[in-house]
Structure 1
Amino acid sequence: MSETVTKTNLLGLSLPKLQAYFVSMDEKPFRAVQVMKWIHQRGVTDFDAMTDISKSLRDKLKTNAEIRLPNVVQEYLSSDGCYKWIVQVASGSRVETVYIPEAGRATLCISSQAGCTLDCSFCATGKQGFNSNLTTAEIIGQLWWANHRLNGFAEPRAGAGKSNRAVSNIVMMGMGEPLLNFDNVMDALHLMMEDNAYGLSKRRVTVSTAGVVPAIDRMKDYTDASLAISLHAPNDELRNQIVPVNKKYPIRELLRSVKDYMASLPDKRVPVVEYTLIAGVNDHRQHARELAALLKDFPCKINLIPFNPFEQSDYRRPSNSSVNTFREILQQADYTVTVRTTRGDDIGAACGQLVGEVADQTKRSARYRKAAELSAANRLDVHNVV
Structure 2
Amino acid sequence: MTVVLDTIQGARAEAPAVKPSLAGLSRAKLGEALAAAGVPEKQIRMRTTQLWRWIYVSGVTSFDQMTDVSKTLRQALEDRFTLDRPEIVTEQVSVDGTRKWLLRLPRRGHEARAPEIETVYIPESDRGTLCISSQVGCTLTCSFCHTGTQKLVRNLEASEIVAQILLARDRIGDWPGADRPDDQGMLPAADRKITNVVLMGMGEPLYNFDNVREAMEIAADGEGISLSKRRITLSTSGVVPEIARWGEEAGTMLAISLHAVTDELRNELVPINKKYPIAELMDACRNYPGLSNARRITFEYVMLKGVNDSLADAKALVRLLSGIPAKINLIPFNPWPNSRYECSEWETIETFADYVNNAGYASPVRTPRGRDILAACGQLRSESVRLRAREREAAEPATAASGG
Common fold: TM-score over 0.5: yes
- Matched with 1:146 is 168
Structure 1: 5+ residue stretches without partners: 158-162, 370-386
* CA distance, structure 1, for counterparts of residue 194 and residue 352 of structure 2: 32
Deviations 1:207-226 (A, max 9, x none): 11101122223213431111
- Matched with 2:139 is 117
Deviations 1:262-312 (A, max 9, x none): 3379x9411101111101111111111001000011111111001111113
Pick one of 30, 48, 58 that aligns with 2:64.
48
Pick one of 120, 132, 136 that aligns with 2:154.
132
Q: How many residues matched?
A: 355
Q: Is the 8 A contact 1:231 1:273 kept in 2?
A: yes
- Shift, 1:21, TM fit: 4.9
Q: Give the letter for the 1:86 counterpart.
A: L
- Matched with 2:213 is 186
3-state secondary structure, aligned to 1:263: coil
Q: Is the 8 A contact 2:291 2:297 kept in 1?
A: no
- Matched with 2:7 is none
Q: Is the 8 A contact 1:131 1:359 kept in 2?
A: no
* CA distance, structure 1, for counterparts of residue 220 and residue 340 of structure 2: 40
* CA distance, structure 2, for counterparts of residue 323 and residue 98 of structure 1: 25
- Matched with 2:182 is none
Pick one of 236, 252, 257 that aligns with 1:225.
252
- Matched with 1:383 is none
Aligned pairs for 1:200-279 within 5 A: 200-263=227-290, 268-279=294-305
3-state secondary structure, aligned to 1:66: coil
Q: Is the 8 A contact 1:19 1:30 kept in 2?
A: no
* CA distance, structure 1, for counterparts of residue 126 and residue 18 of structure 2: 43
Q: Give the letter for the 2:174 counterpart.
A: G
Tell me if 1:284 matches 2:304.
no
- Shift, 1:182, TM fit: 1.4
Q: Is the 8 A contact 1:5 1:64 kept in 2?
A: no
- Matched with 1:378 is none
- Shift, 1:5, TM fit: 9.9
- Matched with 2:341 is 315
- Shift, 1:54, TM fit: 2.1
* CA distance, structure 2, for counterparts of residue 307 and residue 272 of structure 1: 17
* CA distance, structure 1, for counterparts of residue 249 and residue 22 of structure 2: 20
Deviations 1:332-353 (A, max 9, x none): 2111111100011011111111
- Shift, 1:22, TM fit: 4.3
- Matched with 1:375 is none
What TM-score comes out, normalization by structure 1 length? 0.85
Which structure ranks higher in relative contact order (CA pairs < 8 Å, sequence separation ≥ 6)?
1
Aligned pairs for 1:1-386 within 5 A: 8-19=20-31, 21-22=33-34, 25=39, 26=41, 27-91=43-107, 92-155=114-177, 164-263=191-290, 268-358=294-384
* CA distance, structure 2, for counterparts of residue 306 and residue 97 of structure 1: 20
Closer/same/farther in 2, CA of residues 85 and 220 from structure 1, 3 Å limit: same
- Shift, 1:313, TM fit: 0.8
3-state secondary structure, aligned to 2:136: strand
* CA distance, structure 1, for counterparts of residue 334 and residue 225 of structure 2: 31
* CA distance, structure 2, for counterparts of residue 246 and residue 293 of structure 1: 19
Deviations 1:13-72 (A, max 9, x none): 223443455467423313222211211222212112211122232233223433232111
Q: Give the letter for the 2:23 counterpart.
A: L
Task: List structure 1 segments (4+ residues) > 6 angstroms apart after TM superposition.
Answer: none
Deviations 1:107-159 (A, max 9, x none): 111111111110101100111222121222221111111111111113389xx
Q: Give the letter for the 1:300 counterpart.
A: A
- Shift, 1:231, TM fit: 0.5
Most deviating of 172-181 and 65-74: 65-74
* CA distance, structure 1, for counterparts of residue 118 and residue 21 of structure 2: 22
3-state secondary structure, aligned to 1:86: strand
3-state secondary structure, aligned to 1:144: helix
- Give the CA RMSD over aligned residues: 2.6
3-state secondary structure, aligned to 2:129: strand
What TM-score comes out, normalization by structure 2 length? 0.82
Q: Give the letter for the 1:250 counterpart.
A: P
3-state secondary structure, aligned to 1:346: helix
* CA distance, structure 2, for counterparts of residue 111 and residue 40 of structure 1: 19
